[in-house]
Amino acid sequence: MTTDKKLADLRKSYEKGSLLEHELDLEPLQQFDAWFQEALKHEQYEANAMTVATVDENGRPSCRPVLVKSYDERGLVWYTNYLSRKSKALESNPYASLQFHWQALERVVRIEGRVCKVSEQESDEYFASRPLSHRIGAWASPQSQVISGREEIVANAAKYGLEFGLKPPRPPHWGGFRLEPDYWEFWQGRTSRLHDRIVYQLDGDGRWLKQRLAP
């Protein structure tokens, strides 16, 4: 077990980049795309992995990792089970926060906004593009529900594999969410913990206001 002193002594000096206002794009989506393309080149693992944080009807927060599957001027999209815990939280409170952490580049991006379901056509098109085992898995797993053991979902996968063969349809309880950003924060690690933090926020006229935050 790690002692308190050893844990307290864990630290890293961030020295791989800087983030200055004049270097940033006027639009946060374009800035995000530039960083995302760099992450695809440098990250050892999934650059599209992000944490989604939601709050349920009782004000209780929760977070979990998901994979962003598309982004454009409308927002960022991920896919999941609509009966899962995060989906139920979004039904009662349709706002969420996303976070990307690209450790290799010493960068973090935080995004906040309202969440809505994507169209059925978008969900159908993405579902059809998934590997067969993933499409079967969407039927096999009652996400966030208590199960008797791993054997249950393995048996479910076998059952639906036999039922649907090579062309499983999209489950009615499975599809995409889109977060429509009204807040972006770009964080670049710097030495001496004097990190760079630049935020974009929508003003009343629908324009992005760019500001620096103290680290």
> Could you give phi then psi for residue 7, rounded to 5 degrees?
-65, -40
Active-site hit among 135, 190, 193, 207: 193
Are 85 and 165 in contact, with CB atoms under 8 Å apart? no
CATH top-level class of 12-127+173-213: mainly beta
Helix (H, G, I), strand (E, B) or coil at 3: coil
Tell me whether residue 11 is one of the annotated catalytic residues. no
pLDDT at 2: 56
pLDDT band (50, 70, 90) for residue 209: very high
- Binding residues for substrate, by number, are 69, 126, 130, 193-195
- Comparing C-alpha atoms, which of 112, 123, 141 is closest to residue 54? 112
Residues 6+ apart with CB under 8 A from 22: none
> Could you give phi then psi for residue 47, rounded to 5 degrees?
-70, -20
To the nearest whole number, what is the mean pLDDT of the chain?
A: 93
- Comparing C-alpha atoms, which of 179, 182, 180, 178 is closest to residue 207? 182
Q: What is the pLDDT of residues 14-71, one digit of tens each?
A: 878 888 888 899 999 999 999 999 999 998 889 999 999 999 999 999 999 999 999 9
Q: What is the pLDDT of residues 136-183, one digit of tens each?
A: 999 999 888 888 999 999 999 999 999 999 999 999 999 999 999 999
DSSP summary character for residue 203? -
- Binding residues, by number, are 64-69, 79-80, 85-86, 126, 130, 143-144, 187, 193-195, 197
Q: Number of helices (H) and strands (E), helices first, in the chain?
A: 6, 9
- Binding residues for FMN, by number, are 64-69, 79-80, 85-86, 143-144, 187, 197
> Could you give phi then psi for residue 214, rounded to 5 degrees?
-65, 145
Alpha-helical (H) ranges within 43-175 are: 85-92, 120-129, 132-140, 150-164
pTM given for the model:
0.92
Are 187 and 207 in contact, with CB atoms under 8 Å apart? no
pLDDT at 160: 92
* Domain spans, the chain: 12-127+173-213
Q: What is the pLDDT of residues 103-148, one digit of tens each?
A: 999 999 999 999 999 999 999 999 999 999 999 999 999 888 888 9
pLDDT band (50, 70, 90) for residue 207: very high
pLDDT at residue 1 tops 70: no
pLDDT at 11: 80
